[in-house]
Amino acid sequence: MPEEKIIIQQIEIYKLLIPLKEPFITSLGREDFAANIVVVIRTDQGITGFGECSPYLPINGESIDTCFIVGQYFAKVFKNKNALDIKNRIADMDKIIYGNTSIKSAFDIALYDIAAQHAGMPLYKFIGGENNKTIITDYTVSIGDPEKMAADAVKIKHEGYPAIKIKLGRDGKTDVQRIKAIREAVGNEIPLRIDANQGWKVKEAIETLNALAAFDIQYCEEPIARWKFMKLPKVKKNSPIPIMSDESCGDHHDAERLIELKACDLFNIKLGKSGGIYNALKIARLAEAADIEMQVGAMLESRLGMTAFAHFALSSPLIRHFDFDTALMFRDDPVSGGIIYEKNGVIKMPKANGIGATIDESWLRKMEKVVL
C-alpha cells in the first residue's frame, strides 16, 4: 500500500507579543509579556496546522528572536516534504540543530494538528488518548512578599480553583514564612503545590521541605538546580513532601535517567522542554512503565498551545495534574476555537478534529512574520 502523503507547501512563522495582566515572577525572573512564536504549516490538500511555543531563556536557552531564526531553517527543509511523516520531520529538525526544543515543539504541534485533521479525529484520539477525565487547572501565586502572596492565594481560592500553585526558591527560611502566611489565609482544605524553580541548595532544600511538612503540601517541583540531578535522590529520600521533576526532566532521555536514579516521585511534562508531542509521548510511556504520576505544564503559551497540551493530557491515565493557568494571565486572547476555561478551573475541550484551535486572522495580519 503506498504511503499516504500530504505535501507541505508553505510555512509561516509569526511573533506573538501580548502583555500580561500583572507580572509573573519566579525565582528565575520576571515576565511582563508573553513573547511567543506561532507556526502555520499549509499543505497541498488544504489542511493547515497551527503550533505555538513560548521560549524562555533561563529554561531552554531560547528567545522569540532565536526561535524566529531557527524556525526558518526548519521551514526550508520541510518544504515539499510529507507532513504525515512526523518521525522523519522530527529527525530533520534534530539533524539541523541540537536542542532548541521550544521552536521544535511549535513545528511538532502543527504537524500533529495536520495529521489528526487528515485522520478525521481530535488530536487526543489520534495519539491514543480518550476524553475520559475532567481537566482542572490550578492557579499560580508569583513569588514576592508573604502578605501579597497570601492575598493572591485568597483571591484564587475565592475564584474556585481546586489547588493553588506557589512559586518559591528565594531563601528557604523566607519561603517557609511565605507558605505559613498563605496557609493561615486560605485554611487547610485547599491543596497547596510549591515550585522552587531550582532555587534551593541541596541542604537548604532538605531543611526547607521538612519545615514545610506541617503545611500539608501536595508536592514540590524542582527543588534544586537541574544539573544537580545526581543529588535529587538524596533530596527525595529526606523529604516528607513528594518531589516532582520539572527542569531536570526535559525529554525522554532525562526521564529514563531519573527513573534509573529513583530521583523523583512525579514528572512535569512540558512540550516546550520535550521538543513536542512526539517525544512527550515517549516520556509518558516510560512513566507508565515505572508507575510515575505526571503533570502537564506550560510556559506562557496562549490558548492555542494550551489546547495542544490539554489534548496531550488525555493521552495517559497517569497524567493527573494540570497547570494550564498562564493563558488566563493574558490581557488579550488571540485564539479562535480551542479550550474553554469554565468555572472553578474546569477546562472544556473543543470538539473539532485536530487541535481545534487557530490564531484569529485579524491577529495574524498585524503580527511580524516571515513566509517560506
Please list the active-site residues.
167, 195, 221, 246, 270
Q: How many CB atoms lie within 10 A of CB 119?
A: 15
> Could you tell me whether strands 48-53 and 243-245 are parallel, antiparallel, or unpaired per DSSP bridges?
unpaired
Of 96, 76, 45, the residue nearest 275 (C-alpha) = 96
Helix or strand run (H / E) with residue 25: strand 8-26
Mark residue 354 as left, alpha or beta (left: phi above 0; alpha: psi -120 to 50; beta: remaining).
Answer: left
Q: How far is CA 108 from CA 97, 130, 182, 353, in A?
A: 15, 21, 39, 17
Backbone angles phi, psi at 270, to 5 degrees: -130, 130
Distance CA 335, CA 366 (A): 14
Q: How far is CA 123 from CA 294, 296, 315, 355, in A?
A: 19, 16, 10, 5
Are 233 and 205 in contact by the 8 Å Cβ rule? The answer is no
Instruction: Please say whether the dihedral angle defined by the alpha carbons of residues 362, 363, 369 and 372, taken in this order, is positive or negative.
Output: negative
Measured distance between the N- and C-terminal CA atoms of the chain, rounded to whole angstroms: 32
Are 181 and 148 in contact by the 8 Å Cβ rule? The answer is no
C-alpha cell at 241: 513532601
